[in-house]
Amino acid sequence: MTISTGDRIPDVTMVKATAEGPQQVRSGEYFAGKRIALFSVPGAFTPTCSAKHLPGFVEKADELKAKGIDEIVGTAVNDAFVMGAWNQAAGSDDITMLADGNCDFAEACGLTMDGSAFGMGKRGQRFSMVVNDGVVEQLNVEAPGDFKVSSAEHMLGQV
């Protein structure tokens, strides 16, 4: 079953990319008490993800925060080292990367895709959500191959 607006975020282990190295976190705990703009991409360093998705959240970080977003979080089915390197290469200190290396978060949300045709295996779909104190306030899931509703620009119109 796919997660919906009003549902509580699944409580799974994710790995936060930090300057000190990977840190395991529980998503249920991490998303508690904050209003978070979350975006998920099929993979770090992939074309649309690097050219549009991450840069959009970097560019709109101040505007999102001015509208009540406490933190911006990016996730993908990659390890924390890749997520950290991607944020260093194309992101900013305004973005927190939570690696979903085992696809536990995407699976628990019911938002996986099969990237086998591209040699990527099981991945998280492209989506975004606003999570308020652990509850999904807004959910934007892209159709395969699209990049519209999961963008930072679209989210700005929702918050």
The DSSP secondary-structure symbol of 8 reads B
Residue keyed to tokens 């703009």: 37
CA distances from 159 to 35, 41, 64, 108, 132 (A): 10, 21, 8, 25, 11
d(CA 59, CA 92): 9
Active-site position among 49, 99, 130, 136: 49
* Closest to 128 in 3D by CA, of 157, 92, 91: 157
Instruction: Please report the DSSP string for 63-109 in residue order.
Output: HHHHTT--EEEEEESS-HHHHHHHHHHH--TTEEEEE-TTSHHHHHH
The reply to whether 49 belongs to the active site is: yes
What are the catalytic residues? Answer: 49
